[in-house]
Structure 1
Amino acid sequence: MEVIKVENSYKRAEKIFNLIKNVTGLDYKLNIAETSEYVWEVKYAPKTVFISTRAIDEVDDDELAFVFSHEFAHVLKKEIHQQQLNKLREKHVQQYQESIKNLKGGGLSKFFWVILYTAAGFAGGYVKGRSLNRDQERTVDELAIEITQEAGFDPSAGVKFFARDGYQARGFWDSILATHPDSMERAERIRNKLK
């Protein structure tokens, strides 16, 4: 692991970001926001990875490399994930159209069933989309392990990062509506992947 010692968190983040960027070959910029919020996300247009000073200051070099690797992995997997989402939407539209086509009767009764099918279809698609998003996050975590390691950092930093992150699904609704897996689950998956 390369230890990056600089007095300025901006320079430290830039150096680590550039090492990860070189591994991926992606032409993205780093945007550091001075805020007390935790921020780390990728924007496809403009090609930018955003991170907050608080996020930078509260992680070590290996964890920061993992976070950047995770965001770059989103970019690398974006096309595959978009195709999965499009297939899911197409399937739901077909199911909805079939359900409406097979409705008997007319008037108020048919109107009621159309509304009910629409609401059920929307809710089902929403929940399935969230489930797909959690699966995508797991896939991105796995790729981030490889990128982190290839850049010369300790990939087990993902375990430390998620163990500290502390997001836990709380109850039934949170477990099905959350966009990201439980942090402890993510830490455990990374730990198992590294065995």
Structure 2
Amino acid sequence: MLQRLLLLCCALVVLAGCAVTTVSGPQSGANTPQVSSGPGTSQEIARSFVQVVRTVEPVAERECRARTSEVNCDFKIVVDDRPDQPANAFQTLDRSGRPIIAFTLQLIADARNTDELAFVLGHEAAHHIAGHIGRQQQNAAAGAVIAGSLAVLLGGSTEAVEVAQRRGAQVGARTYSKDFELEADALGTVITARAGYDPVRGAQFFTRIPDPGDRFLGTHPPNAQRIETVRRVAAGL
């Protein structure tokens, strides 16, 4: 199933002239196409994904350019072709600073409708627009400095100071991670809606993933809080 989906995505991308590549390592509502590994065929799933990218990517780029001049707004969408990867999507940067948004095959196959795919794309684009990678790196560096300095003041050995710095960096990186996720949910809602999809319907995938709860130094907020954020922002639109 996943291998066929990958081949179809690649073929449709070529035909559509869409900026989607593979890497190793519409309107919403009653007529929204269903995207599922159950009743949907590989061809239907692949076409839906490519259509979502073609529709949402330019909207995300417009929002990016309207909100900041400090980052590269030329998004590149890639499909992680490793069949053993779980359903996931993430945002990163290449060596030139170009934003990369990656979808695993399993996430594409597991999405129940195009609204979910659109919301995930909008959410990941929002991480870049808000500069979350750079802010997280700054928080990690600050945590390392503070923890290392405390270890020095307490007379720790070189090894103890290094351990403190590593742990401080981990804590620092997680300090505002929940806030970052909620920020991305909010801006992702705007992008999804302006692309013509239903962000509230799209955020329903939160009901199917494990709830992280409200753990201290957890990386993600409770699912209910994320869904409420999407509903609140969507209502404001």
1:28/1:4 CA distance change after superposition, 3 Å: farther
The answer to whether residue 118 in structure 2 is matched with residue 65 in structure 1 is yes
- Which amino acid is the alignment partner of residue 170 of structure 2? Y
Instruction: Find the residue that maps to 1:43 and give its secondary structure.
Output: strand
- Which amino acid is the alignment partner of residue 43 of structure 1? T
1:61 to partner: Cα distance: 0.8
The Cα RMSD (Å) is 3.1
Show the counterpart of 2:205. Answer: 161
The answer to whether residue 225 in structure 2 is matched with residue 181 in structure 1 is no
- Unpaired segments of 5 or more residues in structure 1? 104-109
- Unpaired segments of 5 or more residues in structure 2? 1-25, 34-40, 62-73
1:120 to partner: Cα distance: 5.0
Show the counterpart of 1:106. Answer: none
Structure-2 separation of matches of 1:168 and 1:83: 22
- Which amino acid is the alignment partner of residue 28 of structure 1? K
Q: Residue deviations 1:60-107, cap 9 Å, x none?
A: 1111100111111122122x651464256246526744773x56xxxx
1:164/1:87 CA distance change after superposition, 3 Å: closer
TM-score, scaled to structure 2: 0.63
What is the identity percentage for the equivalent residue pairs of Structure 1 and Structure 2?
22
Q: Is the 8 A contact 2:151 2:160 kept in 1?
A: no
Aligned residue pair count: 182
1:118 to partner: Cα distance: 5.7
Instruction: Find the residue that maps to 1:8 and give its secondary structure.
Output: helix
In our comparison, the structure showing a higher alpha carbon Rg is 1
Show the counterpart of 1:43. Answer: 92
1:47 to partner: Cα distance: 4.6
Show the counterpart of 2:134. Answer: 82
Q: Is the 8 A contact 1:14 1:30 kept in 2?
A: no
- Which amino acid is the alignment partner of residue 169 of structure 1? G
TM-score, scaled to structure 1: 0.74
1:90/1:123 CA distance change after superposition, 3 Å: closer
Structure-2 separation of matches of 1:43 and 1:91: 22
1:38/1:87 CA distance change after superposition, 3 Å: closer
Show the counterpart of 1:146. Answer: 190
Show the counterpart of 1:21. Answer: 57
